């Protein structure tokens, strides 16, 4: 449930524009279209009205859902950022503002630093293999878990690799700073 809420917040502007409204139902439907790109048939199975499912789509909701995202959407809608930030973001990012804002709204990977006193990166990768971890591209001590599209972050704090001190949560940028200043 939390993943749905956070996904709606990440694309609130475009989801509301897609469904022409800001009710919780409209935001969820809009998010399923603009962020998760679910086919309308899949959404109709989810919104079936059965037992615990939401009520079926109305004809108007279906029509809004299947339409292409309008080309004429204002920049802040297309980029999912506050309207008041438009001028400043345009100065910083120029024509790539929409792409940059979409990148900022994506779920971040989970980066961890391997404690060299407790083991090696290869050991951490092996212990966390059920999450399909990757070595970080720049830090020689980093392990990265990519976010699942429709799930919350993995419960690393309950993993043996975390509990034993083999890994600690630390983004790759911070790992690189500690290495550069000789603190790692």
Q: pLDDT tens across 20-46, in order?
A: 999 999 999 999 999 888 999 999 999
Q: What's the pLDDT at 3?
A: 80
Give the pLDDT band (50/70/90) at residue 160: very high
Q: What's the pLDDT at 71?
A: 74
Q: What's the pLDDT at 106?
A: 83
Given a cut of 90, is residue 4 above it in pLDDT?
no
pLDDT more than 90, % of the chain: 78
Q: What's the pLDDT at 127?
A: 97
Full-prediction pTM beyond 0.85? Answer: no
Q: What's the pLDDT at 19?
A: 96
Q: Please tell me the distance from the alpha carbon of residue 176 to that of residue 180, in angstroms, as a whole number.
A: 6
Query: Residues 125-144: what's their mean pLDDT?
Result: 96
Q: What's the pLDDT at 45?
A: 94
Environment class of 170 (CB within 10 Å of its CB; exposed 0-12, middle 13-18, buried 19+): middle
Angle of CA points 175, 93, 107, to nearest 5°: 45
Q: What's the pLDDT at 69?
A: 78
Q: What's the pLDDT at 150?
A: 61
Mean pLDDT of the chain: 92
Q: Please tell me the distance from the alpha carbon of residue 69 to that of residue 99, in angstroms, as a whole number.
A: 15
């Amino acid at each position: 449930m939390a993943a749905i809420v956070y996904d709606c917040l990440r694309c609130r502007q475009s989801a509301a524009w897609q469904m022409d409204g800001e009710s919780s139902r409209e935001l969820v439907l809009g998010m399923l279209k603009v962020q998760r790109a679910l086919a309308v048939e899949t959404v109709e199975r989810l919104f079936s009205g059965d037992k615990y499912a939401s009520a079926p789509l109305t004809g108007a909701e279906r029509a809004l859902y299947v339409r292409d995202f309008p080309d004429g959407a204002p920049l802040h809608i297309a980029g999912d950022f506050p309207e008041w930030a438009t001028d400043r973001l345009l100065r910083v990012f120029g024509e790539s503002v929409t792409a940059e804002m979409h990148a900022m709204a994506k779920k971040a990977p989970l980066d961890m630093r391997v404690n060299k006193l407790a083991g090696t990166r290869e050991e951490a990768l092996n212990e966390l293999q059920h999450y399909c971890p990757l070595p970080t591209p720049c830090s020689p001590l980093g392990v990265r878990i990519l976010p699942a599209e429709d799930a919350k972050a993995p419960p690393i704090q309950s993993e043996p690799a975390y509990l034993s001190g083999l890994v600690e949560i630390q983004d790759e940028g911070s790992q690189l700073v500690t290495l550069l200043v000789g603190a790692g």
